[in-house]
Chain A
Amino acid sequence: MSDTTYLIAFITVSAVATFATRIIPFLFFERHTEHPLIKHLGRYLPAAVMALLATVFLQRSADWSATVPGLDAILAGALVVIVHLWRRNALLSIAAGTAAYMLIRQTGILESGVVG
């Protein structure tokens, strides 16, 4: 297999595998849209998924080797929550938290001397 053939095959297989994960529920559960269990999941699953995505990615964005482990992400995350409860403007909350996180990361004010 030449390099280009391999690359094209690779991209095709990856695209099919990714698309499969997204379309399978629509193929197998389409007829059950009105089933109370599907409605139950439709109502509560998004909130649960959002909370778990927030938790996992917050943990991954944290510097656990800093003087106070994880403080960078905790501060920025708390700022998002506070600004959002205060003004309830999604863009403002996201901008404030992201700016705070970038500032902390780029100035390195919370890092330990060892990691520097």
Chain B
Amino acid sequence: MNSQVFRLTLPILFGYIPLGMAFGVLFTTQLDYAWWAAPLMGLVIYAGAGQILAVSLLAASAGMLEVFIAMFVLNARHLFFGLSLLGQFRGAGWRKLYLIFGLTDETYSMLTTRIRSHDKAHEQDIDFRITAFNQVYWVIGCTLGAVLGRNVVFDSTGIEFALVALFIVLTIEQLKALGDAFPVWTGAAAAGVAMILLPAAHQLIGAIAIVTAVLLLQYRSMRSRSGTESSHV
């Protein structure tokens, strides 16, 4: 099973190691803290953009309230991820907290797109392994970057495109599985609107808020059409 999970998560390995390294290099070259704090952050915070933001907050010796708000706002898009995984994670027992903890953009993408059998316990076990493998790649990247610092020799410029490619592939898979292009176009259009109107740091949350609002409206219009509107608020 682990080799199957490894194959499934390979694209994330190609994305997370260089990105984790980018964070590690940034951490050791910008700050005076011990190198091990970088992998520690990958272990307990585990958020790509969040950790890069953390470097600038550390450099500025930001206050704790400021840190909390900044990290919460930057990661606020994750608030919406759980909504589509409530049923999938139900009954996962001790694994559930870790599944929730490890819900990065990439893990969320994998877990919601892959084909699932009816054996729920088995699928949750695979979800758990996918989440753990992904975090291992991330922590390895953070460690390598922090230890090597500026001495990174391999020219891996552009390898982080693996994550963009992964999102494209998963969009196609979602499209084929749903047989309905509406959510895909809504997502792309919402991203377009957010990119035009908002600064980079708020584009993802802005786009997800737009998408959720559109899906709510779609839900309401579907319900009013099917004439069962009165039963729920």
With A26-B89, A51-B184, A52-B204: A13-B84 Cβ-Cβ less than 8 Å: no
If A57-B167, A77-B165 are given as contacts, then 14 extra A-B residue pairs at C-beta distance below 8 Å, sorted by A number, are A10-B62, A13-B71, A24-B82, A26-B96, A40-B222, A44-B183, A48-B190, A50-B167, A56-B191, A59-B195, A77-B168, A84-B169, A90-B166, A90-B169
Tell me if B41 and A94 are in contact (CB < 8 A): no
Interface residues of chain B, those whose CB is within 8 Å of chain A, are 7, 10-11, 14, 32-33, 37, 40-41, 44-47, 50, 54, 57-58, 61-62, 64, 67-69, 71-72, 75-87, 89-90, 96, 100-101, 103, 105, 108-109, 112-113, 155-175, 178, 180, 182-188, 190-192, 194-195, 200, 203-204, 207-208, 211-212, 214-216, 218-219, 222-223, 232
The answer on a CB contact under 8 Å between A38 and B83 is yes
* A4 CB, nearest partner CB in chain B, Å: 8
Residue of B45, B58, B64, B164 touching A61 (CB-CB under 8 A): B164
Per the bound structure, the CA–CA distance linking A86 and B34 in Å amounts to 48
A-B contact pairs, 23 of them (CB 8 A): A6-B61, A13-B64, A17-B68, A18-B71, A21-B76, A25-B80, A29-B83, A41-B219, A42-B86, A45-B211, A47-B174, A48-B211, A51-B171, A51-B191, A52-B207, A56-B204, A57-B167, A61-B160, A77-B164, A90-B169, A94-B165, A102-B158, A102-B159
Q: Which residues does chain B contribute within 8 Å of A102, judged by CB atoms?
A: 156-159, 161
Instruction: For B218, list chain A residues within 8 Å (CB).
Output: 40, 44
Residues of chain B within 8 A (CB-CB) of A36 are: 219, 223, 232
B185: A residues at CB distance < 8 A: 51
A: residues with CB less than 8 A from B are 3, 6-7, 9-26, 29-30, 32-61, 73, 76-77, 80-81, 84-85, 90-91, 93-94, 97-98, 101-102, 104-106
A49:B178 contact, CB within 8 angstroms: no
- Within the assembled complex, what's the spacing in Å between the Cα atoms of A47 and B212? 12
CB nearest neighbor in A for B33 = A7
What is the predominant secondary structure among interface residues of chain B facing chain A? helix
Question: Once bound together, how far apart are the Cα atoms of A15 and B67, in whole Å?
Answer: 10
Q: How far is the CA of A84 from the CA of B203 in the complex (A)?
A: 27
Please tell me if the beta carbons of B83 and A41 are within 8 angstroms of each other in the complex: yes
Indicate if the CB atoms of A106 and B157 lie closer than 8 Å: yes
In the bound complex, how far is the Cα of B83 from the Cα of A10, in angstroms?
Answer: 28
Chain B nearest CB: distance from A34 CB in Å?
Answer: 8
Q: Do B168 and A97 have beta carbons less than 8 Å apart?
A: yes
In this complex, what residue of B is CB-closest to A9? B64
CA A21 to CA B16, docked complex, whole Å: 21
Inter-subunit contact B167/A54 (CB<8 Å) = yes
Given A45-B215, A47-B184, A91-B10, decide whether A53 and B84 contact each other with a Cβ distance below 8 A: no
- Asked, given contacts A52-B204, A55-B187, whether A23 binds B84 with beta carbons under 8 Å apart, the answer is no
List the B side residues contacting A47 at CB < 8 Å: 171, 174-175, 178, 180, 183-184, 187
Residues of B within 8 A of A49 (CB): 80-81, 108-109, 187, 208, 211
